[in-house]
Amino acid sequence: MDALAHLDGEIATAKRLGRYRTYLNLERRAGTASRAIWHSGEGEREIVVWCSNDYLAMSGHPAVVGAVTEAVRTVGLGTGGPRSISGTSVYHHALEAELASFHGKPRALLFSTGFGANEAALSVLGKKLPGLVVFSDELNHASIIHGIKSGGARKRIFRHNDVGHLRRLLAEDGPEVPKLVVFESLYSMEGDFSPAAEIVAAAEEAGALTYLDEVHAVGVYGATGSGYAEELGLSDRITVIMAGFGKGLGGSGGYIAGPEAVVDAVRSFATSFVFSTSLAAPVVAGALASVRHVRRDPTQREAVRARSAQLKAALRERGIPLVSADSHVVPVLVGDPHLCKRVSEHLLTDHGYYVQPVNAPTVPEGTERLRVTPTSRHTADDVTAFAHALDQVWSDLALPRA
């Protein structure tokens, strides 16, 4: 087999199916989010970004920028190795203590990425708990799926947000079988919340541990911004909470918070943690500043939720179909990969709005969509103008209305 020709063929197939990914060359400006400079082959152009996960615009917040700048000046950029060699700093200790307090857990542990946090924690639980059965929502993130597979535990898939199905699966294994229920609070491609209280109750009745991914909810929900579990009063009933800094907290990296035994086992046995260079100290310093700000100031989460509600109302008024209207994430249903790309292209070139198309295999075929994310820095006028532009593109392409 001509290996390189085979790879070329795979890429050609992805393009034919509308699944080939393209990436805009953007220059984000801390002081002017959600605006950015698009560097294209035709020159530079200012655009408005409508698909950023930086929900609270914390990446450019003065408190975060100041903390990162001060840490770079004080300790430099990197950490010099993994946590076990020289990669643990006063910043790492301070942030882990802050996160444990944030979620009301005994201990927390940092990772270089959110993907790495899920992979490390779930693989260790699968390997170190003999006979473990993992019950996983069918729409759980790829990092969760990868972590469960790496751990080698038996896996049972329950239908998305179907608590009745979960209960039936849990009942098929006796009380002596160790069980772990893994789910997300907010499914970012659907924009919908999980029935978290019902899932936790089902897990408790079956004697199962719970593992909740709060990546897309941290910062935006809860009285202090620690996530959807806090908003529902469930934090103390969930065994392990996983989240990260790349969304509402505006940085990068991930973490888990939970019991001493779980966190210490992951710290001790997760290969990807033990052998990975730790997060750069200035990045950790920025994350610490972000968490502290979010805990005491609800202004930005109130703003993003208000802008999201305004956008959903405007799109409903125009008959633009939504996958879900649950959360601050607003997925607009197109249903065809090539049309989805065309909507995105028209918004960008004709109106200066960037929304990345989301096609299969990220979402099922026939459910291709635009994942629109208002942020705390979008204004009410921004929302009105974007809704008008999307409405015009919808008409130009003769797409079906809700």
Residues annotated as part of the active site: 247
As a whole number of angstroms, the distance between CA 101 and CA 269 comes to 24
Q: What Å distances lie between residue 159 and 3, 144, 197, 274, CA to CA?
A: 38, 16, 17, 34
Q: What Å distances lie between residue 375 and 37, 219, 365, CA to CA?
A: 18, 12, 28
As a whole number of angstroms, the distance between CA 396 and CA 332 comes to 16
3-state helix, strand, coil in the chain (%, to 5): 45, 20, 35
User: Phi and psi at residue 332, in whole multiples of 5°?
Assistant: -100, 120
The answer to whether residues 209 and 203 touch, using CB atoms and an 8 Å cutoff, is: yes
As a whole number of angstroms, the distance between CA 162 and CA 158 comes to 7
Q: Where are the alpha helices (DSSP H) in 206-280?
A: 228-232, 260-269, 271-274
The answer to whether residues 355 and 186 touch, using CB atoms and an 8 Å cutoff, is: no
Does 34 sit behind a cis peptide bond, omega within 30 degrees of 0 on the bond before it? yes
